[in-house]
Structure 1
Amino acid sequence: MNLLKKLLKGIGIVLILFLGFILISLFSDSRRTSYLEISAHPDLETNSYLIKNVNVVPMTKDTVLKGKSVLIENGRIKQIGNQIPSNGWEEIDGENDFLSPGLVDMHVHIWDRYDLGVYLANGVTTIRNLRGFPMHLRIKEDIAEGKIVSPQLFTSGPILTGPYDLGDEKIQVQDPQMARELVREHKAKGYDCIKTYAGMPLNIFNAVLEQAEASQIEVVVHPSFEVPYGNNFQPQIATVEHAEDIVQQALSYELDTTILKSVIAQYGAGRQTLSPTLTGYSKILEMLQDDDVLNSEQVAYINPLVKKVDSKAQLERWTSEKETDPDIVERIQEQHDFHLHIVNELNRIGVNIVSGTDAGIGITAPGFSIHEELAFYLEAGMTNYGALKTATINPSKVHDKLHGIGTIQEGKKANFILTDQNPLENLKVLKSPKWVMVDGRKLEPGLMEQFKSKAKNRKGLVASALRWVEYLMVEK
């Protein structure tokens, strides 16, 4: 009996120590990201300003409104005019620079709060997260309550796939009834949209769409190999993801321009939106061409758990592929170039294209990747204005909750980038903003550098793993 008591006592002590370790890890990670709290920066308490002497890039059309004043009240644009009286408003001198809407990345994966600051430092003021955890709902709540400075966060629920598409990061939906229940559940929890994945069979896919329509929640589709590609052009579907899946699914891995014409026509007829995520695919080339890519500057900004597990696994996979098949580098390059052709053809007929990068997995860094994506759109034949539309006004057409962003107009959110050159003439200038404004809060260069430095080579592997365990326990 005494031995049993000692054993139970020992187990109790171990459990207490383990629980203490968990709490300390989460508390430490929370303390390390406290630099995002608005209360930590007195200047961020203000979200009402009068910006004077600024050239406005409204993104409603390909033009610049010169010498304007912009009045911001409680994070919203109240008035745009030639001469707006101060009337006691705190003033910002625009110094005859260029004011553009904040950028939008419509396909990201957020793993911790450090990512939020990196996005802001790169001029990204809205992000759409497409793998939802309970953590993301807590972030949304803190943003809504004005506790932290962050990009606007729009998030899907956990990824839904079919019963045989295995993987901890996805929920294996067993039948249509389970699909309907999950759609209702994710809507009730506060997720903004439903995300479907590559292994979902047609009957379950149809059940998701039917329930999404009934529950008034939109669906974002990673096309499924078990669903004909043409079924992705339905009104409940807000966007289709990945140009690569046009090749891999609609074209059966053939770079066939003849069959592509029919797919392009379906996009046009269905008025569907595509998020190409060219950057995410292009990173395969980087891994094939650079064995030391995990030590690159941008990878230093990726979550430590992702870097240790996913980034490493992807590099090992593609290194192994190259060893057994040296021609793979040429094939991946050819497919990437074909993706540019797809984007050009879709853009030519006026399809709504939204910038998404797949940042947060592999070696695709948050924030920095949006500038790579826009550069690819230029390479695909877009004008500067056309490329910038994909990360500003185009996303505002996709979800009702995004209608308040993407242009500089009265009533819209005061999400801005100030640059010393006109981005309609040189998109690269967006990489180096003089300042960024989100919800009317002005982020000076020093603060943006702090956001980046805090996230670079950060700690928090254990805390990230614990949040992953929470996801598995709560959502799976």
Structure 2
Amino acid sequence: MNFLKRFFQLIGVAVLLLLSILIFTFLRDRHNLMYLNIENNALFHQNTYLIKNVNVIPMSSDTLLRNQMILIKEGEISDISQNIPESDWKVIDGDGAYILPGLIDMHVHVWDEYELGVYLANGVTAVRNLWGQPMHLRMKQAINEEKIIGPLFFTSSPKLTGPVYIGDDNLQMNSPQEAIDKVKEYKLKGYDFIKTYNGLTRDIYDAVIKESRKQGLEIAAHPSSEVPYFYHIENEVVTIEHAEDIVQQPLHYRLDTNKLNEVVALFKSGPNVSFCPTLVVFHNIYRMLMDDSILNSKQLTFMNPLIRKVDSKAQFDRWSQTKSTDATIVNRIKAQHNFHLLAINKLHKAGVNIVAGTDAGIGITPAGFSIHEELNLYKQAGMSNFEVLKTATVNASQTHDFLNNVGTLEVGKIANLIMVENNPLINLEELSKPKSVIIKGRYLSNEVLNSFKNKAMKRENLLMTGLKYLEYLIFE
């Protein structure tokens, strides 16, 4: 009996110790994130004022409006003119800067709130999270209720896969009815749209599409190899993700230009589905193959610590091992990347709506910074600077209904804006060094943006991230 008593005492101590560690971890994380708290930061309160002496790039058309004033009232754009009475408003002098709509990253994986600040620091004022978890519903609620500052936040459901697609990060559907029930559940939980993934069979996919239509949920599709590629184009899918999946699925890993032309023709002839290339995440494979020290680069300090320790390391090891056994891998990855650029060129010329997405949050693709690399790749694919900017602004706003009130600088739109020193229509690199960012009317100076980056670099939330992921695995 004494042994049993001692045993249960030890169990009790262990449980109390574990609870203490969990509570301490949670409280420390909340304390460290106070810098994003709107209520406690007077800098975030002002959302009504007049900006003068700015050059406006509205993105509603290929034009530049010089020496303008912009009146922002309660977080919305109220007036754009050369003559607005200054005496009635607090005035911010733009000093000849260029102002345009904030960038929209249409494919991200957010792991913590620190990344929200990093997105803002890079001029990204709206994100579409493509792997929904319970923590993302809380993030969205906190942003919508204006408890924390962050980009407009929209999240998909968890990734829906088929019965044979294995992985603890995938939600396997084994029947059409199970898929119908999940779509209903995700609607009730508050996810903004459905994410379909590889492995969905036709009967299950059909059920997802039918029930999503009934529930008023749109679909973003990572193509499934269990159905023809054109299935995603012909059905009610808002965006199709990833240029590499064109190579992997309809082209069967062959860099075949004739087959690519057939895919482009399918896009052109089908419904108005948009394409989200995520070129940068594939190009980062090439970077890993070429740079043995990349895991120690400054870029990786902006990755979530757990993702950097697990996913970044695993991907680097995978490609390093492949390089050691396959002398052709570097040239093959480079050739496929160049083929992706050709695909974007052809899709763009065919009139397909290209929307910028990065797949940030996995591998060595950090939040925020990667959008500038993605946009530069579109430039390499043959787009003009204005056409490149459209992919992350007005093009994105034409996909989901919930993005209709951003993407252009017009009266009545949400005041999500970037201010830069020089004209990005001449030099896209200007976007990577914003003079200020305005999110829902709140003016964030360069000093504040830099503080967001510094906080993210110094975060120590590996355990907290692990607990949130464990929550997903247990409760989905």
1:180 maps to what in 2?
Answer: 180
Q: Unmatched 5+ residue regions in structure 2?
A: none
* Alpha carbons of structure 1 residues 41 and 85: separation in structure 2 relative to 1, 3 Å: same
Cα deviation 1:22-55 (Å, max 9, x = unaligned): 1111211121111111123212111111111111
In the alignment, the residues of structure 2 paired with residue 292 and residue 98 of structure 1 have an alpha-carbon distance, to the nearest angstrom, of 37
In the alignment, the residues of structure 2 paired with residue 407 and residue 139 of structure 1 have an alpha-carbon distance, to the nearest angstrom, of 25
Where 1:60 maps in the other structure, the secondary structure is: coil
Amino acid at match of 1:230: F
In the alignment, the residues of structure 1 paired with residue 26 and residue 165 of structure 2 have an alpha-carbon distance, to the nearest angstrom, of 31
CA positional deviation for 1:468: 0.5
CA positional deviation for 1:205: 1.2
1:323 maps to what in 2?
Answer: 324
Where 1:453 maps in the other structure, the secondary structure is: helix
1:77-96 equivalences under 5 Å are 77-96=77-96
1:237-256 equivalences under 5 Å are 237-256=237-256
In the alignment, the residues of structure 2 paired with residue 420 and residue 411 of structure 1 have an alpha-carbon distance, to the nearest angstrom, of 25
Q: Unmatched 5+ residue regions in structure 1?
A: none
In the alignment, the residues of structure 2 paired with residue 466 and residue 143 of structure 1 have an alpha-carbon distance, to the nearest angstrom, of 21
Runs of 4 or more, structure 1, over 6 Å off, are none
1:61 maps to what in 2?
Answer: 61
Cα deviation 1:330-381 (Å, max 9, x = unaligned): 0000000000000000110111000000000000011000000000000000
- Shifted more, 6-15 versus 435-444: the winner is 6-15
Q: CA contact under 8 A between 1:304 and 1:457: conserved in structure 2? A: no
Where 1:154 maps in the other structure, the secondary structure is: strand
Amino acid at match of 2:197: Y
CA positional deviation for 1:162: 1.1
Amino acid at match of 2:354: I
1:237-386 equivalences under 5 Å are 237-270=237-270, 271-386=272-387
1:393 maps to what in 2?
Answer: 394
CA positional deviation for 1:2: 3.1
CA-atom RMSD in angstroms: 1.0
Amino acid at match of 1:349: A
Where 1:96 maps in the other structure, the secondary structure is: strand
Cα deviation 1:280-332 (Å, max 9, x = unaligned): 00000011111111001111100011011100000000001111101010000
Amino acid at match of 2:441: G
Cα deviation 1:442-468 (Å, max 9, x = unaligned): 111111111001111521000000000
In the alignment, the residues of structure 2 paired with residue 380 and residue 89 of structure 1 have an alpha-carbon distance, to the nearest angstrom, of 44
1:406-417 equivalences under 5 Å are 406-417=407-418
1:444 maps to what in 2?
Answer: 445
Aligned residues: 475
- Shifted more, 37-46 versus 340-349: the winner is 37-46
Amino acid at match of 1:196: T
TM-score (norm 1): 0.98
Amino acid at match of 2:15: L
Q: CA contact under 8 A between 1:105 and 1:391: conserved in structure 2? A: yes
2:76 maps to what in 1?
Answer: 76
1:45 maps to what in 2?
Answer: 45
CA positional deviation for 1:236: 2.3
Cα deviation 1:107-166 (Å, max 9, x = unaligned): 000000010000000000001100111111111111111111100001001111112111
Q: Among the aligned pairs, what percent are the same residue?
A: 49
- Shifted more, 43-52 versus 1-10: the winner is 1-10
CA positional deviation for 1:206: 1.2
In the alignment, the residues of structure 2 paired with residue 149 and residue 246 of structure 1 have an alpha-carbon distance, to the nearest angstrom, of 37
Q: CA contact under 8 A between 1:275 and 1:354: conserved in structure 2? A: yes
Q: CA contact under 8 A between 1:53 and 1:95: conserved in structure 2? A: yes
Amino acid at match of 2:68: K
TM-score (norm 2): 0.98
1:79-118 equivalences under 5 Å are 79-118=79-118
